[in-house]
Structure 1
Amino acid sequence: MEEKKIKQLIGKTMLEIAEAIETGSFGQKTRVGITILGSEHGSKNLIDGAVLAARNNPDMEVVLIGPKNDSGLETVEVDSEEEMHTKMEELLDSNHISACVTMHYNFPIGVSTVGKVFTPGMGKEMYLATTTGTSSVHRSEAMVKNALHGIITAKSMGLENPTVGILNLDGARQVERALKDLDSRGYAINFAESMRSDGGSVMRGNDLLCGTADVMVTDTLTGNIMMKVFSSFTTGGSYEASGFGYGPGIGEDYERTILILSRASGIPVVANALAYAKDLAKGRLAEKSRTEFQKAKKSGLDEILDSLKETKKAAETAEEVKMPEKETVTGQIAGIDIMDLEDAVQALWKEGIYAESGMGCTGPIVRVNEDKMEDAVKALVKAEFLAG
């Protein structure tokens, strides 16, 4: 028995040494800050979450930023939220802390946060990209960037090849085409497959509940609502009791590791958010972000994003097109974004193929004669309404 204990101790020590070599810490704890003013539940709620996180994470040292308290944790004293955020930035920039958790913090345009939740269906962890901030003022461009932000976060957390799904929202098919284009140019994306029978990388409600994808791509406003539902559906919304908070701000050339909490976040979420911040710091989030952006840009990211904002296709399809003779349309073509649906019908008319728009059980569809399905699909791919 004694020999077994010795072997276990040696094994544990070797793992700690290996981790220290990998992270360069050699026994040093990762220092993570948290601002303790601004919660709807009071400063004690945040302090109690910090104490819980410090107790559960022996490799982390928590630094409080706010009023004097009796927690026993290191406290950098400030008296206002404005002063608190200024001090937080100073501590990050001086490397006194490696990451910080805060509330009500304004990121610049181009930076958005990646939340982390427990999905209720299977209890899996899932990254919501994104939940606060704005990646771009252009919706589709923002969602493509959100996907990259989610991948960066997941990789920093140790998922080397995270699966990526796109929530079935307006613009989802356009985003899917852009991401598949980026993938085909060399930036590898591991697309998730919906649990629904018709599959595909565009996710439905069931996929949200079950955590089908490691990274779920959405627009920020939808992601923010989803975070609130996932974290507080058992409490009525006034107290967020589950999950890891709204996550780190990610953006090209953005270096600080700042994670966001809601003012309604409860003690368990505060503790989890601090652990999330610690793991991201150990995973070298800023370094991972630079690397992934460089790889994506090398694969044509900027060109793909520019193409999303072009109006050429709309101008081409705006011309009056004569409708072909009506036919029976029982063939269904899915995968076209609802915002492009009528333009897709016009593109087929231009090719002499009669088509109608419709809405199937999984989203928008173009209806054509079954005998012309193959030609119609080819025409829609050529016109860039479908991915090739």
Structure 2
Amino acid sequence: MKIGLDIMGGDYAPKAPVLGAIAAHNALSAGQEVVLIGDKEQTVSLLKENNFDPEKFSYVHTTEVIGMGEHPTKAIVQKPDSSISVGFKMLKEGSIDAFCSAGNSGAMLVGAMFSVKAIPGVARPAITSIMPKLEEGLGILVDVGANADCKPEYLVQFGVFGSLFAQYVYNIPNPRVALVNIGEEEEKGNLLCQAAYPLMKESGQFNFVGNAEGRDMFSGMADVFVTDGFTGNVMLKFAESFYTISRKKKIKDDFFDKFNYEQYGGSPILGVNAPVVVGHGISNAEAIKNMVLLCRDMVQTALTEKIKLAFQ
């Protein structure tokens, strides 16, 4: 197994990705390799500074970097030797089994769509994130930003993505899938939710348990919460603030600690033909390590193949 890691992506690149790669290397098993994509000279220098043998990694040298503020589509086209563009070229060719980056998230989504492309039958790939539960376990929120505007049938597909992801990567048996809405009743919500509800109820592709309100997000009511990317992104950013606020207020609490993004590594882009994970722009070494390990889990569980089977 070869996992491609963008060394130039993120606010603290290349140092954080290099340190994260070292930590990931130490956590991986025999036959699982991290391929470092980016400026080789800078990477090797950082490895030596940290007393790590550079020979333990493979390298693909690149000369360009896609900045966090660049236009995703233009950057992918105009910078073919950027670490993100090269990573997706390798993923398409099969020289790596998964690709991850804490760089420009828009470029990662565009790169995935242009290179490995959406799985046949998938209308729109989606991005997932973790929603911690107040008690034990965690929930999956999908979509969290890939699709600001959605059609009802997209939400049905998001339910499939989330259910399979929860079942195979997080070992949640028969995951309960809920539609994020403003009330429990079947007829509640905007036009999107009103149209999506009966489709999700009748799909038979997952264990649909009805509507979930905002207050249900951190409860044991469901395992997968489905929404459009606009709403999901607002919910995600709001949830992320809990950890930041708890740190600033010097509150030590196990539940708030679960909102630390470092634990989860990154957000998978589900619905494309290979494992792709996008990390937070402020990812540190711990987050990078967990992003690589999430890629490993997606490859090991053959999640992409299972999603393909669901859309045949």
2:6 counterpart letter in structure 1: T
TM-score (norm 2): 0.70
Q: CA deviation at 1:93?
A: 2.4
Q: CA deviation at 1:280?
A: 0.7
Q: CA deviation at 1:288?
A: 0.8
Length, aligned pairs only: 250
Residues 1-388 of structure 1 aligned to structure 2 (within 5 Å): 30-58=1-29, 60-68=32-40, 69-70=43-44, 71=47, 72=54, 73-81=57-65, 82=79, 83-102=82-101, 103-104=103-104, 105-107=108-110, 108=113, 110-117=123-130, 119=132, 121-134=134-147, 137-157=149-169, 158-168=171-181, 170=190, 171-183=192-204, 187=205, 189-192=206-209, 201-231=210-240, 233-235=242-244, 241-251=261-271, 254-294=272-312
Give the Cα–Cα distance (whole angstroms) in 2 for the partners of residues 250 and 190 of structure 1: 19
Do the aligned partners of residues 244 and 230 (structure 1) sit closer, same or farther apart at CA in structure 2, a change above 3 Å counting? farther
1:269 counterpart letter in structure 2: A
Do the aligned partners of residues 124 and 74 (structure 1) sit closer, same or farther apart at CA in structure 2, a change above 3 Å counting? same
1:131 counterpart letter in structure 2: V
Contact 1:240 1:264 in 2 (8 A): no
Contact 2:150 2:228 in 1 (8 A): no
Give the Cα–Cα distance (whole angstroms) in 2 for the partners of residues 137 and 182 of structure 1: 21
Secondary structure, counterpart of 2:15 in structure 1:
helix
Give the Cα–Cα distance (whole angstroms) in 1 for the partners of residues 26 and 240 of structure 2: 22
TM-score (norm 1): 0.57
Do the aligned partners of residues 91 and 241 (structure 1) sit closer, same or farther apart at CA in structure 2, a change above 3 Å counting? same
Secondary structure, counterpart of 1:53 in structure 2:
helix
Rg larger in structure: 1
2:193 counterpart letter in structure 1: A
* Partner residue, 1:330: none
Contact 2:149 2:229 in 1 (8 A): no
1:247 counterpart letter in structure 2: S
Secondary structure, counterpart of 2:99 in structure 1:
strand
Q: CA deviation at 1:270?
A: 2.0
Q: CA deviation at 1:155?
A: 3.7
Give the Cα–Cα distance (whole angstroms) in 2 for the partners of residues 288 and 62 of structure 1: 24
Do the aligned partners of residues 165 and 179 (structure 1) sit closer, same or farther apart at CA in structure 2, a change above 3 Å counting? same
Do the aligned partners of residues 265 and 111 (structure 1) sit closer, same or farther apart at CA in structure 2, a change above 3 Å counting? farther
Do the aligned partners of residues 206 and 55 (structure 1) sit closer, same or farther apart at CA in structure 2, a change above 3 Å counting? farther
Secondary structure, counterpart of 1:126 in structure 2:
strand
Q: Larger relative CO (CA 8 A, sep 6+): 1 or 2?
A: 2
Q: CA deviation at 1:232?
A: 5.2
Q: CA deviation at 1:219?
A: 1.1
Contact 2:141 2:224 in 1 (8 A): yes
Q: CA deviation at 1:35?
A: 0.7
1:190 counterpart letter in structure 2: N
Q: CA deviation at 1:99?
A: 0.6
The gaps in structure 2 that reach 5 residues or longer are 48-53, 66-78, 183-189, 248-258
Give the Cα–Cα distance (whole angstroms) in 1 for the partners of residues 234 and 98 of structure 2: 25
Contact 1:32 1:274 in 2 (8 A): yes
Give the Cα–Cα distance (whole angstroms) in 2 for the partners of residues 283 and 235 of structure 1: 33
Contact 2:149 2:228 in 1 (8 A): no
The gaps in structure 1 that reach 5 residues or longer are 1-29, 193-200, 295-388
Q: CA deviation at 1:217?
A: 0.6
Give the Cα–Cα distance (whole angstroms) in 1 for the partners of residues 172 and 309 of structure 2: 15
Secondary structure, counterpart of 1:235 in structure 2:
helix
Do the aligned partners of residues 203 and 177 (structure 1) sit closer, same or farther apart at CA in structure 2, a change above 3 Å counting? same
How much is the aligned-residue C-alpha RMSD, in angstroms?
2.8
Do the aligned partners of residues 225 and 44 (structure 1) sit closer, same or farther apart at CA in structure 2, a change above 3 Å counting? farther
1:207 counterpart letter in structure 2: D
